[in-house]
Amino acid sequence: PAKEFLQTFGVVWHYQTPDGATLIAQDDKEIWTLHVMLPPGTDEAAIDPKQIVYRALGREFPLEVLQANAWSPHLVVSNGSGRGRVWLAGDSVHQLIPTGGYGMNTGIAESADLAWKFAAMLQGWGGPRLLGTIEAERLPIAQFSVDSSRENTAVRLQIAQNYDPVIHEDSPTGAAVREKLGKLIIELGNAENESLGVELGARYRNSPIIRHEDNEPAWDRIRFIPSTWPGVRAPHVFLDSGEAIFDLFGHGFTLVRFTDANVDGFIAAAAERGVPLKLLDVRDANAHKIYERDLVLVRPDHYVAWRGNAAPADALAIIDHVRGA
């Protein structure tokens, strides 16, 4: 009976209740977790987990409490990313409320950033400025994730403030309250679950190892618009062959070439500095359109470092720039 109630609308992984609670299905069978905001001054010792569940979901049903504990949310970003031989990623850099699920996503991206830069230094081709770019690139993204989490939380709080227990009633009044709250939810939007701009569109605006361009396009935290603007993540695309372009990238830098442009100088410059560079020739009109330029230089972490329609006059300067020399 409990499972039938919890899956009234089918198998759903993530519910948000009208009073601001979040119900998450852990295995779609018998284990769920419920996150509930507690009023300030709540006595933790007096908390009855079952009653909290019943109140949040609007009815009683058979359940067993496996674990219940209170935790305090934080919205903070560290004042640095590290120095010397110690560098940080994940919760040591940023702590945020899980409204949007940005914490682990941001931490994984930080780990990818650290990994290729550490490898560059250990392999001898990373420049003296390279490790310092960890902070320049990642701290603004951490702050953006925290700010987005805060905005999403504010939406939840506004919904919770308009919660009325009558919403659970099978009555004309209950229907009216549900309709009113539903309109408010639509008006506030669903950024918490639809912010692809946050999840996929983050960009390294002030990175000293990106060859930036003028007239930067707007950054929308909701919508994700694939682009090869220097400093953004290279777009995923399936080629005519059925292959994913990411699967064809090298372990180091990748120079994606969509035409017959001469890149001998680029390849020679990378070899001179010991920078691992794979030339990836792609002849796919759709991918070419999405990648916007004839030549796109992609970093080991799949972020775009440089792009152009012809090889640069001073390829060595570009290679030195992107390796942090």
**87-117 burial, b for 16+ CB within 10 Å, e for fewer?**
bbbeeebbbbbbbbbbbeebbebbebbbebb
Residue 55 has pLDDT above 90, yes or no: no
In a domain, 290, yes or no: yes
d(CA 289, CA 269): 27
Cβ contacts of 49 within 8 Å, gap of 6 or more: 65, 68
- Same domain, residue pair 284 and 240: yes
Asked whether the beta carbons of 148 and 221 are under 8 A apart, the reply is yes
SS3 sequence of the chain: CHHHHHCCCCCCCEEECCCCCEEEECCCCCCEEEECCCCCCCCHHHCCHHHHHHHHHCCCCCCCCCCCCCCCCCCEECCCCEECCEECCHHHCEECCCCCCHHHHHHHHHHHHHHHHHHHHHHCCCCCCCCCHHHHHHHHHHHHHHHHHHHHHHHHHHHHHCCCHHHHCCCHHHHHHHHHHHHHHHHHCCHHHHCHHHHHCCECCCCCCCCCCCCCCCCCCCCCCCCCCCCEECCCCECCCCCEHHHHCCCCEEEEECCCCCCHHHHHHHHHHCCCEEEEECCCHHHHHHHCCCEEEECCCCEEEEEECCCCCCHHHHHHHHCCC
Residue 21's pLDDT is what?
86
- Same domain, residue pair 143 and 220: no
- Same domain, residue pair 292 and 243: yes
The packing angle between helices 133-161 and 102-123, to 10°, is 180
- Same domain, residue pair 267 and 311: yes
d(CA 304, CA 307): 8
Residue 146's pLDDT is what?
95
d(CA 82, CA 93): 9
Mean pLDDT within 125-133? 97
Confidence of residue 1 (pLDDT cuts 50, 70, 90): low
- Same domain, residue pair 96 and 39: no
Q: Could you say which of 135, 153, 171 is where a domain stops? A: 153
Q: Could you say which of 71, 100, 127 is where a domain stops? A: 71
Q: Could you say which of 49, 71, 93 is where a domain stops? A: 71
Residue 190 has pLDDT above 80, yes or no: yes
Residue 293 has pLDDT above 90, yes or no: yes
Q: How many distinct structural domains can be found in the chain? A: 3
Closest CA to 325 of 84, 86, 125, 161: 125
Give the chain's length.
Answer: 325
- The first and second tokens of residue 188, run together, are 């506030």
Residue 163's pLDDT is what?
85
Residue 260 sits in a domain of what CATH number?
Answer: 3.40.30.120
* pLDDT tens for each residue of 156-175: 889 888 988 898 899 999 99
Longest dimension (CA), the chain: 77
* pLDDT tens for each residue of 221-259: 899 999 999 999 999 999 999 999 999 999 999 999 999
- Same domain, residue pair 80 and 148: yes
Residue 174's pLDDT is what?
94
d(CA 57, CA 18): 9
Q: CA torsion, points 185, 189, 191, 195, in degrees to nearest 10?
A: 140
* % of the chain with per-residue pLDDT over 70: 100
Residue 12 has pLDDT above 90, yes or no: no
The whole domain housing 60 covers: 1-71
- Same domain, residue pair 212 and 322: yes
Mean pLDDT within 266-275? 98
- Same domain, residue pair 212 and 321: yes
- How far is the first Cα of the chain from the last one, in angstroms, to the nearest whole number? 65
In a domain, 187, yes or no: no
- Same domain, residue pair 34 and 130: no
Residue 34's pLDDT is what?
93
In a domain, 227, yes or no: yes
* pLDDT tens for each residue of 72-111: 889 999 999 999 989 999 999 999 998 888 999 899 999 9
- Same domain, residue pair 308 and 235: yes
Residue 23 has pLDDT above 70, yes or no: yes
| Averaged pLDDT score across all residues of the chain | 93
129-133, 194-198, 260-264, 278-282: range with lowest mean pLDDT: 194-198
Mean pLDDT within 187-209? 92
In a domain, 29, yes or no: yes
Residue 121's pLDDT is what?
97
Mean pLDDT within 181-209? 92
In a domain, 261, yes or no: yes
- The first and second tokens of residue 3, run together, are 């499972």
* % of the chain with per-residue pLDDT over 90: 71
- The first and second tokens of residue 208, run together, are 């000293």
Confidence of residue 10 (pLDDT cuts 50, 70, 90): confident
- Same domain, residue pair 66 and 93: no
In a domain, 194, yes or no: no
- The first and second tokens of residue 45, run together, are 């010792």
List beta partners, residue 94.
77
In a domain, 110, yes or no: yes
d(CA 145, CA 152): 11
49 vs 45, which has greater pLDDT?
Answer: 49
Confidence of residue 37 (pLDDT cuts 50, 70, 90): confident
Residue 142's pLDDT is what?
95
